Amino acid sequence: MRIPYRKEADRLNDSNITFGNPLMQFKQWFEEALRCPEVYEANAMTLSTVSKSGRPSSRLVLLKGLDDRGFHFFTNSMSQKGQDISNNSHVSLLFYWEPLKRQVRVDGTADLLGNNETEQYFHSRPKNSQISAYVSQQSKPLASDDVLLRAYDEATEKFKDVPNVPKPKSWVGYAVKPDRMEFWQGQTSRLHDRILFFKPDDEKPISEFSKPGEDGWYFERLAP
């Protein structure tokens, strides 16, 4: 299978990299994805973590906020991803917007959001979603589906007269603070655009091709 991507006239280069800070560049691309009717969930992102033994795993989660602290998502800290993050806070996110032939990879560290902020978001969710989070011990084995459905029905009855369901202690939020972000744009020629923003360190030092961005960031073009 081989499909056409973008045209040569639509290359990503220094002249159309609008921002020297990748968070601002991301916001521009994200807003374009939100406006694209063919992109169903622009905020869907693959979260990759590594277990204590070094086993990687990936799953889709939803971006629920973005600020100077990074990319926000919420989950159960007792889940596989929560346990992985508690042992190794280095994670990777990947956004892929197929109709736009664009993807953004975000590498960084995940830090817990404050409990008040997490609780505020939890109670902004539909009540049935709150109940689902209340009864689900995420990633734990179940005897059968009936066990979960029965717990859901019992909790629905228990909280029928209250507006909000108590937030489980294990339900938390994370902010992924990036130190590397790569913007990829597909080209029909397969000479794809790859622009890497990075904060210099021992693993990724400044090269002769690196250009200064903003707020301590540098960027450079990578071979596809």
Catalytic sites, residue numbers:
190
Which tokens belong to 179?
A: 């130190």
- If you search the block for the tokens 């938390």, which residue do you land on? 172
Please give the full DSSP string across 44-72, using - where no structure is assigned.
EEEEEEE-TTS-EEEEEEE--EEETTEEE
d(Cα 68, Cα 214) in Å, to the nearest integer?
13
Q: For residue 128, what is the enclosing H or E element?
A: helix 127-135
Instruction: Classify residue 45 by burial, with Cβ atoms within 10 Å: 0-12, 13-18, 19+.
Output: buried
- Supply φ then ψ for residue 189, to 5 degrees: -70, -10
**127-135 and 145-158 helices, crossing angle to 10°:** 130
How many other C-beta atoms can be found within 10 angstroms of the C-beta atom of residue 91? 20
